[in-house]
Structure 1
Amino acid sequence: LALVLFGLPFIAYTAEDYVGAQKCKVCHMKIFKSWEQTPHAKAFDALKPGEAIEAKQKAGLDPQKDYTQDATCVGCHTTGAPDRPGVQCEACHGAGKQYSSATIMNRTLWKAEPEKQCAMAVEAGLVRAPTEQHCTACHNEKSPTYTPFDFKARYPEVKHPE
C-alpha cells in the first residue's frame, strides 16, 4: 500500500487514515457550517468542466476539461482520497482516524476534562492550528493557478468561528 501526502507536509497518511468532514460535523456543527460556505469546501468543484473558467484560462488550462481524475490536481482539491472532495477538516488538522476515536472525541469526557482530552487528541495526531507549511503544501508556485500567498493575511479566512 503506497503512502501518500495530502495537505500536511512531511506526514505520510493512507486514504484509510482519513475519516472525512461528515464525521467531524457530528460534534463540530458550527465550524462545519462555516466551512461549508468557504472556497476550501468547494475546491473540488473547481476541477469540474465549466467551473472556475476564468482561473483556468488565466493558468492556460482548458476550462471545459474534467480535472477531477487528474492526480496532479486531486491532491490539493480533495482531502485524503478523491471520494472526500474539497479541502476538509483533516487537511489542516491531520488525518483523524487515531484522534477521532470514541475514547478521545467523547463529549462527556471533553466537558469533564478538556485539557486532558485535548492532550490525548494532540498525542494521537490532531493538529490544533495549521502552520504556514500546511497551507503552502498546496498554495505554492507549483500550482497552475497560484497567486502570491500571505499566510498571516489569509489565516483569518480559515480560522474557526468562536
Structure 2
Amino acid sequence: KKDLKTSMKVISKIEANEAKLKATLDEGQKSYEASIIIIDSLKSDNNELIESLDELKKKKSIVEEKLTAQMKKNDDLRNDIKKATKMMSKASYDKGLKEELEEAQKSNLVLNSSIAALTETNTKLTKEVDELKKGNSTLKKDLVSATKLMAAMQKKAQR
C-alpha cells in the first residue's frame, strides 16, 4: 500500500509537470506563430520600402538630369548675355539690341528660378531616400531580432 501511495504521488507529480510543460509548449507555439506573422509583415514592409527607395532613386536621377540640362541652358544664356553686352558696349544702343538683351535677362531669371526649384526637389528626394534607408535598416534589425527570438523559442520548446 505504501508503495502504491508513493507511486500515485509520483504519477500525480509527473502528470502535473506534463500539464505545465504542455502549457509552456502551447504558449511557446503561439508566441512562435505570432513571431512568424510579425516577421512576414516585416519582410513585406521591407520589400515595400525597397520598392519605394528604387522609385525615389529613379525620380532623383530624372531630376538630376533635368537640373544638368537647365544648368547648361543657363550657361548658354549667360554666354549670350555676355556677347550681347559686349556688342552693346561696342555699338550704339540700338533699340533692337536693348530689347534682345532684356529678353535674354528675363529668360535667365526664369531659368534661375527653374534651377532653384529643381535643386529644392532634388534635396527633398535625397532626404526621402535617406529616411527610407534608415527605415530599411531598422526593419532589418527588427527582422534579425525576431529571427533570434524565434530560434531561442524553438530551442526552449524542444527542451
* Larger relative contact order (Cα-Cα within 8 Å, sequence gap ≥ 6): 2
- Comparing both structures, which one devotes a greater share of its residues to helix? 2
TM-score of the alignment, normalized to the shorter chain, above 0.5: no
Normalised by the length of structure 1, the TM-score is 0.25
Normalised by the length of structure 2, the TM-score is 0.25
Higher Rg of the two aligned structures: 2
